[in-house]
Amino acid sequence: MDILCPGFVGTRTPWSHYARVRILHTSDWHVGLQSGHISRREEHEAFFRWLNRTLADEAVDALVVAGDIFDGMQPSNESLRMYYHFLRDLESTGVRDVVVVGGNHDSAAQLDAPREVLSALGVHVVGGYSGEADPLRYLAPLRARGSEEPVAVCIALPYIHEYRLGIRTTDSDAEATRRAFTERFRWVYSELANLAEQRFPGLPLVATGHLTMGKMEQGDTLQEIHQVGFIDALPPDLLDPRLRYVALGHIHRACPVERDRIWYSGSPIPVSLAEMRHPRRVLLVDLHCSCTANPRHHGDFSQDETSNSVRVYPINVPVTRELLEYEGTEEEVIGWLKGLFSKAELPPLLNLRVRVEQPQPQLAARVRAALEQYSVENRPLLVELREVLCGSDNEQSAFEAMSLEELKPRQVFSLLCSQAKAALADELLQAFDFVATAKKEELDACIAAVSERPQHDQPPLSVATQQASEDNDQ
């Protein structure tokens, strides 16, 4: 489904006197991403070059990056260098302010470490959230080109684990936990909106978030990011109505949650095969004055022109590499490879499934030989080659037929428990969800809480995680 909105790309209103601030919203870069053993570095480098040009050409005032800067919590030196070089080069684009918040893939400590240095470059970084921190660190004033005075304020909220909100999943039932989770999020946004209005009276407010919200399509949620798997998507009405625009991250498809107010920008490069179905995009957001001059009334102001004070214009990111998949017999796969053609700048990445009646030890060698018809610089890269056994005696279950990359952590855990003939009790699943979603400092606190108790008096892990959270809060 394509995205339609007022002033869609190609017909957007030129930048003019009546727009207060122009924001470019992006997220989910996943710098350092690999597909199998293949680095996606070249695609990120191409995206950053394009983004740099776009920021200058579109006269963007502020860049907002809504989480998942890196693909993992321990980014390589190469990934860090790419990130810092991009931020350094922003000076040439004319962008006045940059807001970067952490996502569930990011290390809050890693992002926050250079925040004081980056602030001198106009880069406001919030790696993680803590209720104990100075709330002013979550407010980022935004300036327009040619002005030193702020014209808007961004409430910069990163990914927030429920542990940080004081939610204890063992305290109540699913519905009570869901309500508590929603209300705590609502409180955080409202309190920061109150503070922003006190510190910057009269300025429009925008915000960020890295979470799951609204109605999703199948395949949108790549990873459960909260310990409570039953929370599902959060309701849009938890966001304070004073927020004129909310820049979301985590969902990899550019889509509105509430048109012209709450949007996901999606990932700029396709992380998985499923993401090739939708264009990769960034969002240009024009945040207008509360009212505009109407020349028919000689300087009076017309409220008719303010019914939509925010306009969102998706911009397609050029495809520099395609992710392709094909399934067939060996003859069909080899024939498909010989006729393969891609218009993208970089050679495609291939995921191949070959239907066989019995294992074929030399299959990989024959497939690679078929790829040698291409020059080295244009040769498609093989990410995965999998044999699919056919016949009634070799039928595989849905889980067994999937690669490890396709399975969600809970599915892998369920398979392991099944193989070990272990019962999947709710308490065991809650403990696994905590381990799967918690960050290092939260796991360390949990281990410490368990270790401090006498061996004969060890509580279940779900209770220990609750106690660890309480100890950390204190």
The tens digit of pLDDT for each residue in 100-144 reads 999 999 999 999 999 999 999 999 999 999 888 899 999 999 999
CB 420 within 8 A of CB 428: no
CA angle centred on 179, ends 173 and 180, rounded to 5°? 85
Task: Name the residue type at position 460.
Answer: P
Banded model confidence at residue 215, pLDDT cuts 50, 70, 90 = confident
Q: Among 97-111, 159-173, 247-261, 338-352, which is the least confidently predicted range?
A: 159-173
Range(s) of the domain holding residue 458: 419-473
In a domain, 257, yes or no: yes
166 lies in the same domain as 182? yes
N-term to C-term CA, the chain:
48
Q: Which of 151-160, 242-251, 325-334, 419-428 has the lowest mean pLDDT?
A: 419-428
Looking at the fold, whether 367 and 298 belong to one and the same domain comes out as no
Angle of CA points 21, 24, 30, to nearest 5°: 155
Same domain as 114, residue 214: yes
Residue 1 lies in a domain: no
Q: Domain ends where: 316, 345, 379?
A: 316
Is the residue at 407 inside a domain? no
Kindly report, residue by residue over 33-43, the tens digit of the pLDDT. Answer: 999 999 999 99
The predicted model gives 273-279 an average pLDDT of: 91
Comparing CA positions, the residue from 208, 169, 214 lying closest to residue 63 is: 208
What is the radius of gyration, based on Cα positions, of the chain?
25
Domain boundary among 316, 332, 361: 316
pLDDT, mean over the chain? 81
Do 311 and 344 fall into the same domain?
no
In angstroms, rounded to a whole number, what is the distance separating the alpha carbons of residues 206 and 156? 9
Q: Is residue 166 part of a domain?
A: yes
User: Distance between alpha carbon 104 and the CA centroid of its chain, in Å?
Assistant: 8
Return the half-sphere exposure (C-beta side, CA atoms, 13 A cut-off) of residue 396. Answer: 13
In three-state secondary structure terms, 336 is helix
Q: Which two tokens stand for residue 443?
A: 């796991």
Residue 17 has pLDDT above 70, yes or no: no
Rounded to two decimals, what is the model's pTM? 0.78
Please give the pLDDT value at position 447.
Answer: 72
Same domain, 300 and 337: no
pLDDT at 289: 58
Same domain membership, residue 359 and residue 258: no
Same domain (yes/no): 244, 293: yes
> Is 136 contained in some domain?
yes
Does residue 451 have a pLDDT over 90? no
Residues 6+ apart with CB under 8 A from 459: 450, 453, 467
* 363 pLDDT higher than 70: yes
The runs of H, that is alpha helices, within 95-216 are: 108-112, 115-119, 174-199
Output the domain CATH number for residue 54.
Answer: 3.60.21.10
Of the two residues 277 and 433, the one the predictor is more confident about is 277
Tokens for 316?
A: 């397609």
pLDDT at 208: 98
At residue 200, the 3 state secondary structure works out as coil
Confidence class of residue 437 from pLDDT cuts 50, 70 and 90?
low
CA distance readout (Å), 76 to 32, 54, 72, 79, 83: 7, 27, 9, 5, 11
Confidence of residue 169 (pLDDT cuts 50, 70, 90): low
Please identify, among 316, 344, 378, the residue that sits at the C-terminal boundary of a domain: 316
Nearest to 189 by CA among 166, 174, 205, 169: 205
Kindly state whether residues 290 and 383 are assigned to the same domain.
Answer: no
Which structure tokens are listed for 185?
């999020």
Provide φ and ψ at 151, rounded to 5°: -115, -5
Flag whether 404 is in a domain. Answer: no
Confidence tier at 153 by pLDDT (50, 70, 90) = very high
Distance CA 68, CA 70 (A): 5
How do strand 62-66 and strand 281-288 relate by DSSP bridges?
unpaired
Question: For residues 215 and 42, what is the distance between their CA atoms, to the nearest angstrom?
Answer: 33
Question: Are 125 and 112 contacting, i.e. CB atoms less than 8 angstroms apart?
Answer: yes
- pLDDT higher at 472 or 276: 276
Instruction: Report which of 71, 128, 60 is spatially closest to residue 100, judged by C-alpha positions.
Output: 128
> Is residue 58 domain-shared with residue 171, that is, in the same domain?
yes
User: Which of 61-75, 396-410, 451-465 ranks highest by mean pLDDT?
Assistant: 61-75
Residues 47-85: b if buried by 16+ CB within 10 A, e if exposed:
bbebbbebbeebebbbbbbbbbbbbbbebeeebbebbee
96 with 151, same domain: the answer is yes
Question: Directed axis angle between helix 41-57 and helix 77-89, to 10°?
Answer: 10
d(CA 472, CA 474): 5
Indicate the number of domains in the chain.
3
Statement to judge: residues 107 and 163 lie in one domain: yes
SS3 351: strand
The reply to whether 240 and 342 lie within a common domain is no
The answer to whether position 428 is within a domain reads: yes
Give a yes or no: residue 413 inside a domain.
no
